[in-house]
Amino acid sequence: MSSSDLLLSRRDLAFLLHDWLDVARLTERPRYAEHTRETVDEVLDLAARVAAERFAPHNRAADTGEPTFDGQRVRTIPQVKAALEAFAETGLLAATMDESVGGLQLPHTVAAAAFAWFQAANVGTSAYPMLTLGNANLLLAHGSAEQIDTWVRPMVEGRFFGTMCLSEPQAGSSLTDLTTRAEPQDDGTYRIVGTKMWISGGDHELAENIVHLVLARIPGAPPGVKGLSLFIVPKVLLGDDGTLGPRNDVVLVGLNHKLGYRGTTNTLLNFGEGVHRPYGRAGAVGYLVGQPHQGLAVMFHMMNEARIGIGAGATALGYTAYLKSVAYARQRPQGRPVADKDPTTPQVPIVAHPDVRRMLLAQKSYVEGALALVLYCGRLLDEQKTAPAEADRERAHLLLDLLTPITKSWPAQWCLAANDLAIQVHGGYGYTRDYDVEQHWRDNRLNAIHEGTHGIQALDLLGRKVTMRDGAALELLLETIRGTVTRAWKAEGFASELAGQLGAAVDRIAVVTRRLWAPGDPELALANASVYLEAVGHVVIAWMWLEQALVVEALGSPDGAEGEFLAGKRQAARYFYRWELPKVGPQFDLLEGLDRTTLDMRESWF
């Protein structure tokens, strides 16, 4: 077994990408014409190798030797910079970008699968390129040609890294209350003044420069989120020839030390306090992206990409811990079968015990279901950008918009549950730092708050996404799932055993959603939105499992390792339908009853 075999399953990725999503068909489209199934597999092999050789070995070292700040410089262990340089050499920083900016024009589905290797190997180090990719993609979509040449090309080359600067200490997730201001200058630039909190990758010496994307208010802007504009604010300003110039007035106040992701610097930044005085005066120099007062709409380009990226990272952390707990369970002898009363007989590996198999099977159902959802969203992005028919592009856009909060939150909750079970499978050792699984749990615990809490995603799903365009997105999702159910009925066999249960759950979503909004009381409808997110998320993952079951049926029952792999898929699907999907019934009952328990709870009663 190679070290990459404990990060992700190469066979599962092939099953999802080739047997199910058929990504090779994408290469028939002009944008991806330079690629074939062979190049797809080569990219995955490259990602697996670099992740195993350059990212995984320092995962623990970066956790125990987290970044430090002495008031002047941030120091990280040297392996982090070396790994990021190796990543840049792969070209994957520009995996999906246009050839005109040095990109590979790979399908997004493939790029997501490739990057998952790095997230599984070392989520702390992989956070730097993830943020940089999102930053660069935003500028490619909304920046000027000059901004792309100036800032995106160095990011593609791995010389500059990027961040997103939204939160402020007094505002938290409430972007309405942001106070950072942007004063216009005669030369067309702006001077940015304010404080940003929880900025991942906000300061370090891992790259020549850091390109901050900062939300701020121009004087006279409308109140609330409609008055936010977006600015490029680099750590180091550039000369006319693109070379590094003076330090911008961006100052690191301190590092936040989190439960997990300890290899990623997390910062409190002051903009414009006057420690540095670019061109002789205080104020951080910023460059407007897009139009004034449209900053949040533009920033959502990066935020939505980051949300799916967080879901992918949560999945990867759950997946690698699952594989490690399977390996441990096969190697660790302990106890004997219940029917064996002879204490002189050899102990058996703990995988022989039914409760251990239950814990492993639960993990498998969570992580393989989540990975399917992440890659399905990648395929939707490919359809949105390259489908020949406009109707197909619009359909993919609408479906992806609805699935984004689920794809962020469901893996962050349930792949964390998989991490919890991986610790338990390891027994007492799982709670020590002798094994990786405790770190995977700590790292994954942060994903419940990264890019918006479960509650924020739930409000987005129920309060915005299912109601937009008179419910068109929700209707499309239900129609799409029903299409899978119909195919499963026609296929008969194993898949048809699951179809009726999923069909009934889909019908409940429609009924419950109408019931929640029928009284016309948004506060009542949204009071239990997190329960709605969890229940709908479970139905979506059940759909992912039915899609996989259909592929398993089509592949038949071969002998050997392939047969074992497909049998494992069947059993994981059965587990999810028998143990997990039934949980949504009581949740839908609660929602349909318009329960007011939490809404009516008074602050003084706590």
Among all residues, which ones are annotated catalytic? 451
Cβ contacts of residue 211 below 8 Å, gap of 6+? 135, 151, 155, 160, 161, 162, 163, 232, 234, 235
Residue 212, helix vs strand vs coil: strand
- The span from the CA of 266 to the CA of 446, in Å, is 12
CA 184 to chain centre: 35
Cβ contacts of residue 561 below 8 Å, gap of 6+? none
In this structure, the number of other CB atoms found within 10 A of the CB of residue 606 comes to 5
- The span from the CA of 325 to the CA of 236, in Å, is 45
For 389, counting Cβ atoms within 10 Å of its Cβ (0-12 exposed, 13-18 middle, 19+ buried), the class is: exposed
Please, what's the b/e burial string for 328-366 (b: 16 or more CB within 10 A of its CB; e: otherwise)?
bbeebeeebeeeeeeeeeeeeebbbbeebeebbbbbbbb
Cβ contacts of residue 357 below 8 Å, gap of 6+? 351
Residue type at 359 in one-letter notation:
M
Q: Could you tell me which of 308, 322, 307 has the C-alpha nearest to residue 441?
A: 322
State both tokens at 444: 């994954």
